[in-house]
Amino acid sequence: MSTRPNGNSAPDLFQGLSAEELREVERVTSTRAFRRGAVIYTPGETGEALFLLREGAVQIYRLSPEGRKLVIAHLLPFSFFGEMSCIGQGMYDTFAEVTEDSTIITMNCEVLNRLLIQRPEVARRILESFGRRILEAERQLEDTVFKGIPARVAALLLRESTGDAVDGLTHQDIAERLGVYRETATNALNELKAADLITIGRKHITILDRERLRRAAEQ
Amino acid sequence: MSTRPNGNSAPDLFQGLSAEELREVERVTSTRAFRRGAVIYTPGETGEALFLLREGAVQIYRLSPEGRKLVIAHLLPFSFFGEMSCIGQGMYDTFAEVTEDSTIITMNCEVLNRLLIQRPEVARRILESFGRRILEAERQLEDTVFKGIPARVAALLLRESTGDAVDGLTHQDIAERLGVYRETATNALNELKAADLITIGRKHITILDRERLRRAAEQ
DNA sequence: ATACTTCAGTAATCCCGATTACACGAGCGA
DNA sequence: TCGCTCGTGTAATCGGGATTACTGAAGTAT
């Protein structure tokens, strides 16, 4: 986990800033590389830090009192997260964990506020990032309330598939994304397999019939 | 449901705009009054409209295939909602219904974009509105996955209480907010009553012991 | 007052998913 | 190659809510 000043590969977020402004941004932010599995923050570390995922992937999750894990958000590049009380966002009792080697920019409220004022496009991009997160959370909420586990697993596979393959996800990972037991996820996967919708291998699932899987995801 | 141009009581959102800019805003937006119960949009009406709640209250909800209702967001004044593909937000299969007589401003993407560029404070406020909505959705998601109905009802009562009273909410309303059956909500309420945490009257609940109710809400 | 609609109380049945308890093969480090 | 850990398969039990089916009381309109 190294720390270095921002290079000249500033993310799209800062596209359009003048050289002067970029220098300013570099001065007041830091860019760090995190390895897969690194935990960026846990409840209690209530710094005022504000993070911008430049590349990689980050999971925001919570733990139940009994230790069950629920992933409430998957962030893709150019997502904002962290304590943003300055813009009405807090991290509360959440954990943030890097799920793929990532590059993350850290800044504080003051810096963000300056950016928001100087660069309307920045606000635009944050707004988009927030919008995605709202959509995702509300969709997950709806699925949780209305659908059964097999349908939710099917939907997750469709979302996470690259081509017709879903790689690198263990049953445990799937369970955590849905907030259910690993055994329950395995059962649901086996149901889908029994219906010839998918094949299951170690950390590797293949979608056999995308269309029918989509229908299964409907409930 | 009347339509009139914006008066001089523009909401905080437009605070700080020049007279010139305000005139411009008035020209391109419309302000409408909605009565409690009015439905602002339903799935299918996929206009590009973008709404700003000036006063009152609005519910965003979805229906399951069987017709069960789940309220996924409660909006308070100065919240944005609607089709905002221009800023990464969509209404998808959601309904928006006015739950208290409300005043709502309608505009389109173009207008918003102009505002965002001209007025950083506007972006700021939208960001805060979005942030609240993320928080709310993710909290509701966590509760749904981790807690039992009684705890969720307790938490809802605490959130919705004015002083120690919760008025105007039927058991049905409570059930819809949690995405459960009315009977289930009634049962949970009776449990809380049996524990002397609340008293139940027609559309009126009184909190007897806030502290213990808070503990009950923890699970 | 009377009929009607809204709200709330109650109970019985059913089913999904939580929870617990193991077994077993695959990869991996020593 | 030998263990060991990780990822997966399976089964049995239990309990919370969904779902169905009513009853009855509180407001409301006529």
**pLDDT of res. B6:** 40
Q: A13 pLDDT band (50/70/90 cuts)?
A: low
The separation, in Å, between residue A84 CA and nucleotide D2 C1' comes to: 52
Q: Which residues contact A185 (CB under 8 A, 6 or more apart)?
A: A149, A153, A171, A172, A174, A175, A178
Answer for the pair A196, A213: CB distance below 8 angstroms, yes or no.
Answer: no
> Which of A72-86, B125-139, B193-207 has the highest average model confidence (pLDDT)?
B193-207
B197 DSSP 8-state letter: S
Binary contact (A116, B124; C-beta < 8 A): yes
Task: Note the helical H segments in chain B.
Answer: 19-28, 109-118, 120-146, 149-160, 171-178, 182-194, 210-217
Could you give the CA distance from residue A75 to residue A83 in angstroms, rounded to a whole number? Answer: 15
Residue A192 has pLDDT above 60, yes or no: yes
Q: B12 pLDDT band (50/70/90 cuts)?
A: low
Binary contact (B179, A145; C-beta < 8 A): yes
Answer for the pair A97, A40: CB distance below 8 angstroms, yes or no.
Answer: yes
Q: Which residue of chain B has the CA closest to A146?
A: B64
Could you give the CA distance from residue B217 to residue B219 in angstroms, rounded to a whole number? Answer: 5
Binary contact (A134, B129; C-beta < 8 A): no
| Residue of B188 and B2 predicted with greater confidence | B188
Nucleic chain C contacts, Cβ below 7 Å? A 66, 68, 148-150, 179-181, 183-184, 202; B 170-172, 182-183, 186-187, 189-190, 200, 202-203
The separation, in Å, between residue B185 CA and nucleotide C12 C1' comes to: 18
Q: pLDDT by residue (tens digit) across A128-178?
A: 889 899 999 999 999 999 999 999 999 999 999 999 999 999 999 999 999
Q: What is the largest CA-CA distance in chain A?
A: 61
Nucleotide closest in space to B203 (CA vs C1') = C7
Mean pLDDT lowest among A7-16, A51-60, A115-124, B51-60: A7-16
Residue A29 has pLDDT above 50, yes or no: yes
| Residue of A149 and A9 predicted with greater confidence | A149
| Residue of B149 and B119 predicted with greater confidence | B149
**pLDDT of res. A139:** 96
**pLDDT of res. B181:** 97
Look over chain B and give the mean of its residue pLDDT values, rounded to a whole number.
Answer: 89
Binary contact (B124, A87; C-beta < 8 A): yes
**pLDDT of res. B26:** 83
**pLDDT of res. B9:** 38
Binary contact (B144, A146; C-beta < 8 A): no
Binary contact (B128, A73; C-beta < 8 A): no
| Residue of A22 and B135 predicted with greater confidence | B135
Q: pLDDT by residue (tens digit) across B79-115?
A: 999 887 777 777 788 999 999 999 999 998 888 888 8
Q: Which residues contact B60 (CB under 8 A, 6 or more apart)?
A: B71, B72, B73, B74, B75, B81, B91, B94, B95, B96
- Report helix, strand and coil shares of chain B as percent, to nearest 5: 45, 30, 30
Residue B219 has pLDDT above 90, yes or no: no
Over B152-190, what HEC string results?
HHHHHHHHHCECCEEECCCHHHHHHHHCCCHHHHHHHHH
Indicate the SS3 state at residue B63.
Answer: strand
A21: left (phi over 0), alpha (psi -120 to 50) or beta: alpha
Answer for the pair A193, A199: CB distance below 8 angstroms, yes or no.
Answer: yes
A198: left (phi over 0), alpha (psi -120 to 50) or beta: beta
Mean pLDDT, range B43-66, rounded to an integer: 89
Q: Which residue of chain B has the CA closest to A113?
A: B124
The residue type of A140 is: Q
Mean pLDDT, range B10-22, rounded to an integer: 69
Query: CA-based angle B96:B102:B105, to the nearest 5?
Result: 75
Mean pLDDT, range A14-41, rounded to an integer: 85
Distance from CA of B128 to the nearest CA of A (A): 5
The separation, in Å, between residue B183 CA and nucleotide D21 C1' comes to: 12
Could you give the CA distance from residue B23 to residue B18 in angstroms, rounded to a whole number? Answer: 9
Answer for the pair B129, B12: CB distance below 8 angstroms, yes or no.
Answer: no
Could you give the CA distance from residue B106 to residue A43 in angstroms, rounded to a whole number? Answer: 39
B107-146 in b/e burial notation, b at 16+ Cβ within 10 A? bbeebbebbbeebbbbbbbbbbbbbbbbbbbbbbbbbbbb
Residue A200 has pLDDT above 60, yes or no: yes
Of B62, B87, B134, the CB nearest to A133: B134
Q: pLDDT by residue (tens digit) across A58-102?
A: 999 999 988 899 999 999 998 999 887 777 777 788 999 999 999
Interface residues from chain B to A (CB-CB < 8 Å)? 62, 64-65, 68, 70, 72-73, 84, 87-90, 92, 94, 116-117, 120, 123-124, 126-135, 137-142, 144-146, 179, 218-219
Distance from CA of A110 to the nearest CA of B (A): 13
Could you give the CA distance from residue A216 to residue A189 in angstroms, rounded to a whole number? Answer: 12
Of A64, A135, A179, the CB nearest to B90: A135
The structure tokens listed for A212 are: 């029918």
| Residue of A4 and A114 predicted with greater confidence | A114
Q: What is the largest CA-CA distance in chain B?
A: 61
Answer for the pair A25, A111: CB distance below 8 angstroms, yes or no.
Answer: yes
Considering only CA atoms, give the Rg of chain B. Answer: 19
Could you give the CA distance from residue A71 to residue A59 in angstroms, rounded to a whole number? Answer: 7
**pLDDT of res. A12:** 63
Q: Which residues pair with B71 in a beta bridge?
A: B61
Mean pLDDT lowest among A161-175, A187-201, B1-15, B67-81: B1-15
Half-sphere exposure of B205 (CA within 13 A, CB side): 28
Q: B8 pLDDT band (50/70/90 cuts)?
A: very low
Mean pLDDT, range A1-16, rounded to an integer: 50
Binary contact (B123, A128; C-beta < 8 A): no
Mean pLDDT, range B9-14, rounded to an integer: 56
Mean pLDDT lowest among A56-70, B62-76, B104-118, B140-154: B104-118
Total number of residues shown for chain A: 219
